[in-house]
Amino acid sequence: MSSEKIGQAAGAIWTKLHDKGTTGLGLTDLKKVAGFTQDELLAGIGWLAREGKLSFREGSQRKLIVTLVEEEIFT
């Protein structure tokens, strides 16, 4: 797994979450981002989280929901 591939996954995740707005997505839905392994997706989530671009909350049935922070949604 390369830094470049992780960066590409982070970009795809950011785009998918930006399209969803404040609704966000669960990890299962994020795994459907085409062309990336689960490890690459999780690394991409970590990359975005480290940059302060993600917010996490608990949804129904203790499901983890990932959203972009407001500053990212409205850019």
Q: Which three-class secondary structure state does DSSP give residue 24?
A: coil
Taking only the tens place, the pLDDT of each residue in 23-34 is 899 988 888 877
Output the pTM of the full model.
0.87
Amino acid at 42: L
Q: CA 19: distance to chain centroid?
A: 11
Q: Domains in the chain and their CATH numbers? A: 3-73 (1.10.10.10)
Please compute the mean of the pLDDT values over residues 10-24 and round it to a whole number. Answer: 92
Place 70 in a pLDDT band, splitting at 50, 70 and 90: confident
* DSSP characters over 7-65: HHHHHHHHHHHHHHGGG-EEHHHHTTSTT--HHHHHHHHHHHHHTT-EEEEE-GGG-EE
